[in-house]
Amino acid sequence: MILRHRYHMLFEFSELDWLFHDSEDIDAFLKRIIDLIYKHMNITGCSIYLWDESSEQLIFMASEKTVDQAPFRNGEFTGLNIRKGQGVCGRAIDSGSIEYGSKRRLVMAAPIQRGSIPVGVLNLERAKRPFSIIDEGVIRVLTSQLANILENAKLFYSGNRNSYLEPGQHSLEFSSQIILQGIAGAPGTAFGDSYTLDRQRSFTELRRIKYDKVYTLGELEKAIEKTEEQLLELQKNVEENLSDSASLIFTSHLLILKDNSFRTEIKTRINNGNNAPAALLAVTENYIKAFSESENPFVKEKVEDLEDLVQRIFSNMIGDSSAPVNVEGRVVISKSLYPSDMLMLASEKAAGILLVTGGITAHIAILAQSLKMPLVIIDFPDLIKTDKPLPILIDGQTGKLCINPGKRIIMEFQSIQADRQANPEEMMLPDLITSRDGTRVNLFTNINLIPDLEEAMRMNAGGVGLYRTEFPFLLRSSFPTEEEQYAVYKQVIELAPDKPITFRTLDVGGDKILSYYKDYTEENPFLGLRSIRFCLKNPAVFRQQLRAILRAAGKRKIKLMFPMISTMEELRSARVLVQECHEDLQMSGIPSIMPEIGAMIEIPSLLGILDHLCDEVDFLSIGSNDFVQYMLAVDRNNEKMSEYYVPHNPSVLRALNQIAEACIKHNVELTICGEMAHQKEYLPFLLGIGIRQFSVSTSFLNQTQRIISETSITEAEIIADAALEHSSIYEIERILGIS
């Protein structure tokens, strides 16, 4: 009876996010929460307080009086603001633990916190029956889910938000310090004025400009010439710093500038009496209309290139400050970014990026890590509506961001920056990495771009556990040729002459879309034509890549890994193509040897055929991000589903153990990559089930090595065994130390 009641509550609480979105305002949301608690908990008093960092006190927000007019039954429900340590609520926010008003356990104060960061306190009271351990468990679940919503909902409270968007307004203005919790995308901190990258909106603003003078054709030509020089300089910077991404990301901009029909149409309008800016805008809008109506997605994408280009020309002609030509030292706010945008912002020395769509875009986060660009993702699209630059501080390690940071927070930021400069994270790894009790563990790096590998080799990484070969594809406007791929792969081979290298074949689809591939319209791209499926459906593209890799390797033994394998037939078909390419090269007199063949375990269908799989591969690698996604049927890029994306779900942990046992039984080398491979909560478990090879992004090498060296394998095995015994996520969180 009790358990059924408890799980009924958990089901209700799992709908909190939807309850929030269905509420007309935050007060209504809090009323519904209190109503829900009254409905299930048999209580006589309930209050919600939020922690205010600026005043360092709990601010009263709601109580049962917002639901009915029942009087308070305890002095704790006075509605007054509370300081740390003051009363049961103050003790709860101070200790971070559930506190009781007396030994009778009739008053419970539960801290609402995100990780170790205080958000507020939920205060409950009963008249007779004491609160039990079961009640504590239920309230912990509720407060953990409330934390995710209330951390960002603070923004809407009158004490923190001085002005808001009224009907007819086009911008938001913030005048006080606001701290928000987002999702960590790429580590690092950044502090600077914001720059809003919203091309469509910025382009619309150009129509509203009133010109103080008549601009001549000569002035326009000078602006175009200056724009071309700027683009060529940006392109040069990209090529010098990211040589393997020789993508010519500004090619389309330059081609438009050189297009005779484009310039002739503008010239004709100017000769007919139009002011040069108006002529430029009119011709551009005609092109945008034509591009937008095209059925070719690649042509449609060029709309953004054209908008970006024209804003640059306007800036150089009339000094328009809205044009995106100077982001140096600024935190860029945007709804979405292409990989080429990331390269452009890096080349223009942006300080950091704030994506305001909420969902994690995997390849953008990965690219930001490679570019050492701090990135935070938050579900707050209204931030894009800010007109004036805002001082913003972001922390890509924790996902925190602060708008209008006060002196104290700025000083903390400066202190962190000074510490990092004095003690840089990039330290040499030992030749031999071991656990605390002396067990050897191999630590490899994931690389996306050549600078990743250069840094990893400086740090003495054990090798390349995962080279994501898709990035040279993603950063281009057309398929790279075999020769272009060969040049990139050759650099990889030469930079790690005596280290193992694992090439993962082309992994596109899902959120990694090739804009120049015409057949990409899918209802559900994550379950569609992606990874090995794409390669087998496009054998000409696949063969080019395989030949380029084998040619670059020459007589050196490398590892070749196929992503998203779901059947033995896929594995065998891919291996046959490798064999054919190898034989073709040999017949042509080009040095080539067969690589070791492996597969990524990302799809649960492989769990039933692990023994057969192990018989036909040289090695296996667990892609933990996609593996969790497909095990749990949860889109990991969907912020609204984040509470369901739980890597420590018992089914996931048992599946990982099953894979590890199969590899040990068949003596097949096993590596794990993805987020789990560097997270301190999971490393002891993974070591405990027998995984001895980890591949992480270069920025996480030191952190991962440190955790491994502090972990005892004996203790890790005890932790793993205990976690595998339980079917409750909450018990597993207790065992793994997940707050």
Q: Identify residue 217 by its one-letter amino acid code.
A: L
How is residue 730 written in tokens?
A: 């909450």
The pair of structure tokens assigned to 346 is 């890096």
357 to each of 198, 307, 379, how far by Cα in Å? 13, 21, 5
673 belongs to the catalytic site: yes
The per-residue b/e assignment along 690-705, b for 16 or more CB within 10 angstroms, e otherwise, is bbbbbbbbbbbbbbbb
Euclidean distance between the first and the last CA atom of the chain, given in angstroms as a whole number = 28
Cβ count within 10 A of residue 600 = 26
Q: Residue holding tokens 């009271």?
A: 125
Taking alpha carbons only, the member of 632, 138, 625 closest to residue 363 is 625
> Which stretches does DSSP call E strand in 126-227?
178-181, 183-186, 189-196
**Cα 382 from Cα 282, distance rounded (Å):** 30
CA separation for the pair 460, 428 (Å, rounded) = 6
Characterise 7 by phi-psi region: left (phi > 0), alpha (psi -120 to 50), beta (else).
alpha
Element (H, E) at 27: helix 26-41
Q: Which of 253, 363, 582, 678 is catalytic?
A: 363
Cβ atoms 188, 396 nearer than 8 A: yes
* Single-letter amino acid code for the residue at 649: N
Burial pattern 104-113, b for ≥16 Cβ within 10 A else e, equals eebbbbbbbb
Token look-up 């082309």 returns 506
Rounded to the nearest angstrom, the gap between the alpha carbon of residue 158 and the centroid of all alpha carbons in its chain is: 31
**How far is the C-alpha of 645 from the C-alpha of 44, rounded, in Å?**
35
Among 560, 730, 723, CA closest to 7: 730
Cβ atoms 501, 558 nearer than 8 A: yes
Reading the block at residue 368, the tokens are 């930001």
Residue 103, classed as helix, strand or coil, is coil
Q: Distance (Å, rounded) from C-alpha 698 to C-alpha 675?
A: 13
Burial code (b: 16+ CB inside 10 Å, e: under 16) for 500-518 equals bbbbbbbbbbbbbbbbebe
Number of other CB atoms surrounding residue 409 within 10 Å: 18
Distance CA 561, CA 546 (A): 11
**What CA–CA distance (Å, rounded) separates 262 from 235?**
22
Contacts of 522-526 with CB under 8 Å at 24 or more apart are 526/629, 526/635
- Helices 568-587 and 539-553 cross at an angle (nearest 10°) of 60
CA-to-CA distance for 538 and 36, rounded, in angstroms?
54
Strand partners, 243: none
Alpha carbon distances (Å) from 473 to 248, 252, 273, 339, 697: 12, 16, 45, 10, 20
Q: Which of 89, 663, 673, 678 is catalytic?
A: 673
Catalytic, 726? Answer no
Q: How far apart are CA 395 and CA 411, in angstroms?
A: 14
Sorted by sequence, the CB contacts under 8 Å of residue 611 that are 6+ apart come out as 662, 665, 666
Q: What is the dihedral of CA 60, 64, 68, 74, to 10 degrees?
A: -100
| 355 DSSP β-pair partners | 334, 377
Residue of 111, 125, 159, 106 lying closest to 37 (CA atoms): 125
Enzyme catalytic residues = 363, 673
